[in-house]
Structure 1
Amino acid sequence: MKIAYSPCPNDTFIYHAWAHGLVPDAPPLDITYADINITNDLAANTNDFDIIKISYAALPWVLEKYTLLPCGGALGRGCGPLVLTKQANGDSRDPSSLIGKRVAIPSDRSTAYLLFRLWASQQVKGAIDIQIMPFEKIMPAVRDGIIDAGLVIHEARFTYQDYGLQLVADLGRWWESDTGLPIPLGAIVAKRGLDISSITQWIRSSLEYAWKNPDVSREYILQHAQEMSYDVAKAHIELYVNSFSFNLGEEGFAAVKTLLRRAVDELLIPGFNQDLLYI
């Protein structure tokens, strides 16, 4: 079974057991490791994968051929993207200071960017020069003055101060305050026509194994963690792997539906059949 997910610790933690043949009756996995901006494009433009990790923001482009799974993704509280600038005097923490500035983002179909645009429509209210950049290059670029601000994800929330950067906005905090809902970040989708019930069970079994045996996956996680320390990787897992990873539930689906409905209303994503979210 062909699967694509990121090399980030939350994904390698969840899928370690299945990837290593530790989930009973689950088929072997043919794994492609790729950042979310790449998997978003792969899901939309190819039919190469049976299961693939994408941004929730990318769902409208793939739901005709993929089913949203109720597990295996990243959704939670206190884990949203951050808007960062270089530490300086003046009004650099004022959202309106971003008007006319160069802001780097990791992907134009990421949930992070969708949240940024929804936030900016309320808080910035002016044109911003958006530049797409691999997420691992964003903080160095802000530090070095190549760009004015950056939208960062993942473990950057634990390390941005090491780059001399300061927080302009925590988009997760803004989203939770505005909606009362958790932040939907990364989704797992599977091809329509496959045995969705079995795939869901295999993912949940893999996650249950990881929770019961947290140290077994350590080598696998660090192998793909891009020189991240284990302490940072562990903090990453604790933040992004939670009860929603096991089951989205009503609250999780409500968060996804609210995000996409707002984005459609703001003309940020194309309209789509929302009934497909539940099929």
Structure 2
Amino acid sequence: MKIAFSPCPNDTFTFHAWVHGLVEGAPPPEVTYADIHITNHWAIDREGPEVMKISYASLPWILDDYALIPCGGALGRGCGPLVLSADGEMTPADLAGKTVAVPSERSTAYLLFRLWAKEAVPGGVGEIKVMPFDDIMPAVRDGKVDGGLVIHEARFTYGDYGLHMLTDLGDWWEKETGHPIPLGAIVARRELADDIPRLEEWIRTSVEKAWDDPEASRAYVMEHAQEMDPEVAKAHINLYVNEFTRSLGEEGFAAVETLLGRAAEEGIVPSFDINKLRPYRGVTGE
């Protein structure tokens, strides 16, 4: 089975046991490591592996072809994207008409940014520049853009660039809705109908084994962590791998339905059949 996920610590931690043959009955996966903005486009274009980690924000484009697997993803509290600036005196309203760098226009981070900016930035932002997330903080620091939308370990490192936080979109979302933040989702092509329940079991077992023996995955995580400090990698895992990674549950599904439902109402994402978000609906006939 072919699978794609990012080289970020939360993904390598989550999938370590399966990738290394430690999940009984699971076939050895053929792994492609790709940032989520790449897998988002693969899914939308129906390219790439049968199983992928994508952004929840991309689901409305792909639900006819892919089923959401309710485990293995990233959803939680206190882990939202940040909007940064180099000017400590800047306010959200000051972004009106300005240039903002974002990691992807198909990301949950961008979707949250659009929903937030509708309320917080009168008149709206100006130009949106899409760039690799590693390039965003240097671009803000160097004045190439006025603001930056950052994700992942940038939560812990933006101060190293002399940057300032305009808002924590996760904090805003939680206060606005009471829900956790849907970030990354695991999806599988719908023609894998017979394998999808087992796939869920394999991923959940892989997560549980990672928790049972965190040291077992350390070398694998750091091999792919792009020279990240080990303590930052550990903080990244602790933040993004949680009970929602084990099972999305009713609370998780409510968060996803609220986020994507609002986005569809605002015309940020296409309209979609919300029933197809539930496990295997449209796959097994449930």
TM range (shorter): over 0.9
Instruction: Work out the CA distance in 1 between the residues paired with 2:143 and 2:87.
Output: 11
Instruction: Give the Cα separation in 2 of the matches to 1:46 and 1:262.
Output: 25
Name the counterpart of 2:69.
69
Q: SS of 1:107's equivalent?
A: coil
Q: Secondary structure at the match of 2:148?
A: strand
Determine whether 1:119 maps to 2:116: yes
CA contact (8 A) 1:87 1:164 kept: no
Q: Percent identity?
A: 63
In the TM superposition, structure 1's runs of 4+ consecutive aligned residues that sit over 2 Å from their partners are none
Tell me the distance in 2 between the aligned counterparts of 1:138 and 1:47: 27
Q: Which secondary structure does the structure 1 equivalent of 2:191 belong to?
A: coil
The one-letter code sitting in structure 1 at the alignment partner of 2:236 is H
Q: TM-score, normalised by structure 1?
A: 0.97
Contiguous gaps of at least 5 residues in structure 2: 282-286
The amino acid across from 1:156 in the alignment is: A
Q: Does 1:78 align with 2:78?
A: yes
**TM-score of the two chains, using structure 2 as the length reference:** 0.95
Give deviations 1:170-229, integer Å, cap 9, x for gaps: 000000000000000000001113211100000011011100010111111111111101
Q: Separation in 1 of the partners of 2:275 and 2:181?
A: 21
Amino acid at match of 1:245: T
Q: Aligned with 2:44: secondary structure? A: helix
Q: Tell me the amino acid that sits aligned with residue 275 of structure 1.
A: N
Code of the aligned partner of 1:218: R
1:31 aligns to what?
31
SS of the equivalent of 2:202 reads helix
Contact 2:98 2:146 in 1 (8 A): yes
Deviation (angstroms), 1:65: 1.0
Q: Extract unaligned runs of 5+ from structure 1.
A: none
Instruction: Please tell me whether the aligned partners of residues 82 and 171 of structure 1 are also in contact (alpha carbons under 8 angstroms).
Output: yes
RMSD: 0.8
Match of 1:157 in 2: 155
CA contact 2:117–2:124 (8 Å) conserved in 1: no
1:245-260 correspondence to structure 2 within 5 Å: 245-260=245-260
1:140 counterpart letter in structure 2: P
> What is the correspondence of 1:9-24 to structure 2 with a 5 Å cutoff?
9-24=9-24
> CA separation in 1, counterparts of 2:22 and 2:200?
15
Q: CA deviation at 1:48?
A: 3.2
May I ask how many residue pairs the two structures share in their alignment?
Answer: 276
Counterpart code for 1:252: G
What is the correspondence of 1:157-236 to structure 2 with a 5 Å cutoff? 157-194=155-192, 195-236=195-236
Cα distance, 1:47 vs structure 2: 3.9
What letter matches 1:160 in structure 2?
Y
- Which residue is 1:142 aligned to? 140
What is the CA–CA distance in structure 2 between the aligned matches of 1:47 and 1:136, rounded to whole Å? 25
Quote the residue 1:263 is aligned against: 263
